[in-house]
């Protein structure tokens, strides 16, 4: 189950995607710090917001609005170039934005219905979904056998984390379902979006760097989220809002929703920028480490219990995700005569 140390060294080389010039270590460290801090604060304020108001599709949509406002400010002030997209470009982006919408909303609903730590443990299963999507959707993306072997500890670890001492299997079905939905959507977004975003970023006339790619997807994601707010929550939204204001205060409610939206946008933008600098392998490895931080912080702040099986299972699942990230990109050894 152990990978060669030479592969670990190769995976952590901080090189740009466009050329072999090494990226600034200080810049990369800053991106990682901002990514981790933004993601941690997002999970904290998101959980506070969803605990206050039982209208989680609305919270997901409101979070995206914050990012849209930020992008508009960047574009109108000239701080960032405005995307120059044709109707055909936008059409190609719609499926990506749709799956981004489902991935985001699934995560919000999962953490709203259950513990943040549990949602993060289930989301560690994303490589399993990605592997299945990679095989089923053309062109097939076949990973090395070692990568598929690493899926076993991921599934086993999540299963163990769901076994409570003295109770047996104890799963928050709603949280598990939405987190799994988020995993499936994220895998589909990655599969169908890779070639489209690469083409947009390579055409300099489009003004589609990593930040603008995410900004455009964020706008499309919001548009796709609105119908679900209308269908699932609009009839009771005013009532739920009034109850939340009465119990927690309007200022506190708006602050938590706004801050969750701000940190959601910030962490994703920095994550996109970091991945553009170092590539998907290093980004996946650090994304795995990020989950550990979120689980620990959420357990402390929200007093979420972590039983022995939960701790061992989450460690196994996250470790399996770490190994999968490395093994999936391992180059096959050259055959010798």
Q: What is the DSSP string of 179-243?
A: HHHHHHHHHHHHHHHHHHHHHHHH-GGGT--HHHHHHHHHHHHHHHHHHHHHHHTHHHHHHHHHH
pLDDT average, residue stretch 9-21: 40
Residue 279: the pLDDT is 65
Task: With a cut of 80, say whether residue 7 has pLDDT above it.
Answer: no
What whole-number distance in Å separates Cα of residue 267 and Cα of residue 238?
30
Sign of the four-CA dihedral 231, 233, 236, 237: negative
Task: With a cut of 60, say whether residue 255 has pLDDT above it.
Answer: yes
3-state helix, strand, coil in the chain (%, to 5): 75, 0, 20
| Number of other residues whose CB lies within 10 A of the CB of residue 121 | 25
For residue 206, what are the CA distances in angstroms to 78, 102, 196, 210, 266? 15, 26, 12, 12, 22
Sign of the four-CA dihedral 283, 266, 213, 219: positive
Query: Treating both helix axes as pointing N-terminal to C-terminal, what angle do 116-123 and 308-327 enclose, rounded to 10 degrees?
Result: 30
pLDDT digits (tens, 9 = 90+) for 176-217: 999 999 999 998 998 888 888 889 999 999 999 988 999 999
What whole-number distance in Å separates Cα of residue 93 and Cα of residue 60?
20
Nearest CA among 204, 197, 240, 236 for reference residue 220:
197
This prediction's pTM: 0.84
Q: Binning pLDDT at 50, 70 and 90, where does residue 16 land? A: very low
pLDDT average, residue stretch 247-255: 97
Q: Binning pLDDT at 50, 70 and 90, where does residue 288 land? A: confident
Q: Binning pLDDT at 50, 70 and 90, where does residue 281 land? A: low
Residue 332: the pLDDT is 53
Sign of the four-CA dihedral 328, 329, 330, 332: positive
43 φψ region: left (φ > 0), alpha (ψ -120 to 50), beta (else): alpha
Residue 9: the pLDDT is 44
What whole-number distance in Å separates Cα of residue 112 and Cα of residue 108?
6
What whole-number distance in Å separates Cα of residue 29 and Cα of residue 83?
28
Task: With a cut of 90, say whether residue 229 has pLDDT above it.
Answer: yes
Residue 261: the pLDDT is 96
Can you name the residues that pair with 164 across neighbouring β-strands? 168
**pLDDT: which is higher, 146 or 275:** 146
Residue 31: the pLDDT is 87
Residue 4: the pLDDT is 47
What whole-number distance in Å separates Cα of residue 29 and Cα of residue 295?
22
Q: Are 158 and 321 in contact (CB under 8 A)?
A: no
For residues 302, 306, 310 and 316, what is the CA-based torsion angle, rounded to 10 degrees?
Answer: 80
How many residues are listed for the chain in this entry?
337
Task: With a cut of 70, say whether residue 262 has pLDDT above it.
Answer: yes
Residue 18: the pLDDT is 39
């Amino acid at each position: 189950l152990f990978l060669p140390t030479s592969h670990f060294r190769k995976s952590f080389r901080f090189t740009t995607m466009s050329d072999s010039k090494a990226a600034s270590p200080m810049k990369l460290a800053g991106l990682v710090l901002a990514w981790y801090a933004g993601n941690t604060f997002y999970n904290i304020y998101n959980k506070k917001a969803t605990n206050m108001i039982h209208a989680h599709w609305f919270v997901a949509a409101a979070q995206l609005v914050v990012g849209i406002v930020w992008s508009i400010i960047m574009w109108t002030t000239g701080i960032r170039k405005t995307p120059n997209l044709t109707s055909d470009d936008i059409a190609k982006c719609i499926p990506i934005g749709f799956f981004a919408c489902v991935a985001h909303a699934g995560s919000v609903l999962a953490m709203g219905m259950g513990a943040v730590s549990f949602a993060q443990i289930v989301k560690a299963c994303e490589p399993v979904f990605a592997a299945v999507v990679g095989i089923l959707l053309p062109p097939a993306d076949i990973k090395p056998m070692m990568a598929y072997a690493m899926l076993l500890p991921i599934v086993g670890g999540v299963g163990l984390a769901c076994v409570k001492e003295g109770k047996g299997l104890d799963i928050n079905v709603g949280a598990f379902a939405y987190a799994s939905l988020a995993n499936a959507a994220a895998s589909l977004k990655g599969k169908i979006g890779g070639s489209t975003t690469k083409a947009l970023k390579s055409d300099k006339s489009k003004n589609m760097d990593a930040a603008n790619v995410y900004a455009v997807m964020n706008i499309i994601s919001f548009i796709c989220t609105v119908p679900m707010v209308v269908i699932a929550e609009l009839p009771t939204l005013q009532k739920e809002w009034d109850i939340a204001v009465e119990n927690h205060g309007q200022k506190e409610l708006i602050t938590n929703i706004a801050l969750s939206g701000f940190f959601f946008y910030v962490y994703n933008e920095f994550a996109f920028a970091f991945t553009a600098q170092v590539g998907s392998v290093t980004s996946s490895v650090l994304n795995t480490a990020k989950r550990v931080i979120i689980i620990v912080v959420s357990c402390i702040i929200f007093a979420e219990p972590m039983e022995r099986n939960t701790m061992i299972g989450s460690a196994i699942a996250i470790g399996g995700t770490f190994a999968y990230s490395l093994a999936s990109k391992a180059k096959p050894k050259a055959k010798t005569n």
